């Protein structure tokens, strides 16, 4: 499930690509979806500032990553899939929810909430990375997730405050590394698998490997 195209106003492209590579390596058949809604705003990624006069559609922008092969999130059903994965990027906190603005008081996009609840009810695994675990924390009461560490540690974990918001949402936060063994947390009860990814300032290959651990565990939980 994508949330646009570009870290500051949509899906983090490196994370989406890593998810797709690891799914391909795992032999999975993949379908991509995004909500057919306007973005919260558009960011000029060369300046890191909003482009005030622009507006974009989340589905249309997500199609860039999907190479055009994408459908509206409204068409995603548990009957047709064994698992669902949400890459990170600020789009998860801006377009799939209002977390970027409202924090613990955020609202989740209606279709995103439906998908999370439907997969959870069906006992099918849910994978999330970077900031997207906040979606599970909000929608799935008592879920265990990780966004990495709970302290910034000199800038290594610049978004460490997210862990506190996750706790306020009623979820359990589990501290995880991104660069060593077991960089993914598996909530076996809820079949929710999370990894910090770009919540940590580290080398790209470490993030790629951490996402691989998440994907591997999601596929393992499908039992196929």
Tokens of 109: 């996009």
Q: How many residues in total does the chain contain?
A: 224
Closest CA to 157 of 212, 113, 215, 198: 198
What is the C-alpha to C-alpha distance for residues 112 and 81, in angstroms, rounded to an integer? 15
SS3 108: strand
130 is catalytic: yes
Check 5, 106, 129, 130 and give the catalytic one: 130
- The residues that bridge with 73 in the sheet, in sequence order, are none
Given a contact cutoff of 8 angstroms between Cβ atoms, the answer to whether 199 and 165 are in contact is no
Supply the Cα-derived Rg of the chain in whole angstroms: 16
What is the C-alpha to C-alpha distance for residues 71 and 57, in angstroms, rounded to an integer? 13
- Listed in sequence order, the DSSP H helices in the chain are 13-25, 58-65, 91-94, 99-102, 110-121, 133-139, 161-168, 204-222
Closest CA to 30 of 39, 40, 20: 20
What is the C-alpha to C-alpha distance for residues 169 and 134, in angstroms, rounded to an integer? 8
Q: Cβ-count burial of 189 within 10 angstroms (0-12 exposed, 13-18 middle, 19+ buried)?
A: exposed
> Could you give the residue numbers annotated as active site?
130
């Amino acid at each position: 499930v994508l949330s646009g195209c570009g870290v500051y106003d949509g899906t983090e492209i490196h994370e989406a690509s890593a998810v797709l590579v690891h799914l391909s390596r795992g032999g999975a058949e993949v379908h991509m979806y995004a909500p057919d809604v306007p973005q919260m705003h558009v960011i000029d990624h060369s300046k890191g500032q909003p482009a005030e006069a622009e507006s974009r559609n989340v589905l249309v922008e997500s199609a860039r990553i999907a190479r055009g092969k994408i459908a509206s999130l409204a068409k995603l059903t548990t009957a047709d899939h064994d698992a669902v994965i949400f890459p990170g990027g600020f789009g998860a906190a801006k377009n799939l929810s209002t977390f970027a603005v409202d924090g613990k008081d955020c609202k989740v996009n209606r279709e995103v909430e439906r998908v999370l609840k439907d997969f959870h009810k069906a006992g099918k695994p849910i994978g999330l990375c970077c900031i997207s675990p906040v979606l599970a924390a909000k929608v799935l009461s008592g879920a265990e997730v990780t966004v990495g560490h709970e302290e910034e540690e000199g800038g290594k974990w610049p978004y460490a405050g997210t862990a506190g918001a996750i706790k306020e949402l009623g979820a359990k936060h589990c501290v995880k590394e991104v660069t060593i063994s077991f960089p993914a947390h598996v909530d076996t009860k809820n079949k929710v698998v999370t990894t910090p990814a770009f919540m940590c300032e580290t080398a790209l290959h470490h993030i790629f490997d951490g996402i691989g651990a998440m994907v591997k565990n999601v596929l393992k939980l499908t039992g196929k």
